[in-house]
Chain A
Amino acid sequence: MIIQNTITSLFHFMPEIILSISSMVILLIGTLEFLKKYVFQLTILSILLASSFSYMVYPETALSLFNASIVKNDITEFFKYICYFIFLIQVLISRKYLNIRKLDSGEFYSLLIFALIGCLIIISADNLIVLFLGIELSSLSLYSLIALDKSNSLSSEAAIKYFVLSIIASAIMLFGFSYLYGLTNSLSISEIIVFSNTNEISNLYLFSYILIFIGVAFKFAVAPFHMWLPDVYEGSPLPVTNFISSIPKIAFFVLAYKFLDGNNIMQIDNFHNIFLFLGIFSVIVGNLYALAQKKIMRLIAYSGVANSGFIFLALYAAIEYNFSVSAFYVASYSFATVSLISLVTYISSKKYNLVYIKDFKGLSASLGFISVLFMVTLLSTAGIPLTVGFYAKYLVIDSLISKDLILVATLVILMTVVGLYYYLRIIWFMFFEPGINSLVNRGDKLSVLILSFIPAIIIMVFLFPEPIFKYIFNILT
């Protein structure tokens, strides 16, 4: 780990700085009448600039910036690239949707970039203060983004629900931070982990870790803490839902990884069984509730609950091996869900009313290729072969079986079969039922090209999983 002084730290921190400056510039330009129409182009430009700069200053060895409050290594950079890529796709897809609803103002893009910066800071933070500020930066921007559609009462309702539950989650997490600080007298995450390995783990240390992971479970929407997710997915504008469903989950996965990796607390049964119970409960609750849903966004939300359960099961299995299975699962799930919600956004931006699941009837007649893309993504979230979702689920179940948890693995497979029903029902509606919605098909070639990106990746990674999985395995060990 090479320690940098403040000036060189600023240089290595440049991608985030570029993003924050451009976000403020976009906010300013959004108020000027004659420059207003360029905010979208500026957003795309800034994200491209930041990611290429991030490539230019790629650290050869691990770096410690700003007095050990930010770290940069292969892991953080890998997840940051995933965030940049997902964010780019989300912004490109959502332009027309926002345009129809008069939401494409400067403050929308500015707040969205701020939320992204918050998540990037969570990924690279090594100090509890910086971590807290990153969490709050992303969630404060998300509260206002959800409530931005002021004419829609559902949107402000979703905002108030997300606001209250998210603050409870961060306050519980902060309470855990305060006990960790009291025990170790340090705010650095790496020193907190060293403390657990040199001293005996006290009950207070365990208690503070449980509080922190209750906060993480809230953000992941794992079963007993999932009640905000369906309401927020349904109420908020689709581009914001798209953001919430993917990038914060990647960020909080890296947070969980940082707190757990190389920590002796993982040897304590009472602690790591929490992951097992939350995971099983979440897989059951998510799949069973999803069966009863009539609205498409609520269905995606409950399938997200089930997938978060899988992530927690993978974290549980990571105790003796390493975190590569869970990292692979997080990456594959966030790609699939982004593709799913982007497709819904694209169809909704064509004035096609897509709220209920029965609205899918006969979609393939008017939007054939889009329906095929939808099918590939749905099969990936369901875990059917020929998609990367199958490989990710297989790895999780395989690691459960190798820990002699045959019963749990059987239960999880059964629940996946239950989940197949509601995914296949959508596919049935799309291809084999007569349509009730009429739609004027106007080709939008660029959007279709962008939308077909992720399904192509989903199939490619299934066919050649070795390089990407080996890469993840190498950076995590």
Chain B
Amino acid sequence: MITMTHYLVFSLLLFCISIAGIFINRKNILLLLMSIELMLLSVNTNFIVFSHFSNDITGQVFVFFILAVAAAESAIGLAIIVALYRVKNSIEINLINKLKG
């Protein structure tokens, strides 16, 4: 029997994996975008679980808003990456180091 705790632990693990993905990854910006998506999806899982187990629909409404915003966010993120590629001819993270004191 899968209880609520299982789902919550699952989404917490998903969240930790995505945080690790952001901080360990040192090469590719696209992987960063994927980790960010994963992060928001783990939040969605949390909301759906709570909403399902307490028979309250508002949590699932919140999920729709998060999905829409996540789509807008990745669109803007990709646009910024394109702008970065135009001036630098590369999207490697190691090369994003021009700003320092």
Q: Which residues of A contact B (CB under 8 A)?
A: 128-129, 132-133, 136, 140, 143-144, 147, 150-154, 156-161, 163-164, 167-168, 171, 174-175, 177-179, 181-182, 185, 187, 230-231, 234-235, 292-295, 298
Contact = CB atoms under 8 A, between A and B. Distances in A.
A235 B58 contact: no
Q: Name, among B39, B40, B101, the residue most crowded by chain A CB atoms within 10 Å (CB to CB).
A: B101
Contacts of A179: 46
Nearest to B93: A160
Given A132-B66, A160-B81, A185-B56, 15 more contacts: A136-B69, A136-B73, A147-B83, A157-B99, A161-B96, A167-B39, A175-B15, A178-B46, A181-B58, A182-B50, A231-B100, A234-B99, A235-B99, A294-B101, A298-B101
B93 to A, nearest CB: 9
Nearest to A137: B69
Given A132-B69, A187-B58, A168 B84 contact: no
Interface residues of B, number: 41
A234 B99 CA distance: 7
Nearest to B45: A178
A157 to B, nearest CB: 5
Contacts, number: 114
Given A153-B88, A175-B46, A168 B62 contact: no
A133 B101 contact: no
Given A163-B77, A181-B62, A293 B101 contact: yes
B6 to A, nearest CB: 14
A175 to B, nearest CB: 5
A244 to B, nearest CB: 15
Contacts of A235: 99
A153 B98 contact: yes
Given A136-B73, A144-B79, A230-B101, A181 B59 contact: yes
Given A132-B69, A150-B86, A163 B101 contact: no
A177 B51 CA distance: 13
Given A129-B61, A136-B69, A231-B99, A181 B50 contact: yes
Chain A to chain B: the 3 pairs with minimum beta-carbon distance, closest first: A182-B50, A178-B46, A153-B87
6 contacts: A150-B87, A152-B87, A171-B40, A182-B54, A187-B58, A234-B99
A160 B96 contact: yes
Contacts of B73: 136, 140, 167
A228 to B, nearest CB: 10
B86 to A, nearest CB: 7
Contacts of A295: 101
Given A175-B42, A187-B62, A164 B83 contact: no
**Which of the listed residues A171, A182, A185, A294 has the most CB atoms from chain B within 10 Å of its own CB?**
A171
Contacts of A294: 101
Contacts of B61: 129
A33 B43 CA distance: 45
B13 interface: no
B50 A178 contact: yes
Nearest to B54: A185
Interface centre among B42, B49, B50, B69 (most CB of A within 10 A): B69
A347 to B, nearest CB: 21
A160 B36 CA distance: 13
A157 B69 contact: no
B34 interface: no
- Listed residue (A182, A185, A295, A298) with the most chain B CB atoms within 10 angstroms of its CB: A182
A185 to B, nearest CB: 5
B43 to A, nearest CB: 5
A158 B98 CA distance: 10
A154 B95 CA distance: 12
Contacts of B19: 168
Contacts of A133: 65, 69
B80 interface: yes
Contact of B76 (A140, A234, A292): A140
A157 B96 contact: yes
Contacts of A153: 84, 87-88, 98
A164 B22 contact: yes
A227 to B, nearest CB: 11
A419 to B, nearest CB: 17
A129 B46 contact: no
Given A136-B73, A168-B22, A174-B66, A154 B99 contact: yes
Nearest to B46: A178
Contacts of B83: 147, 150, 156, 159
Nearest to A136: B69
A174 B84 contact: no
A148 to B, nearest CB: 9
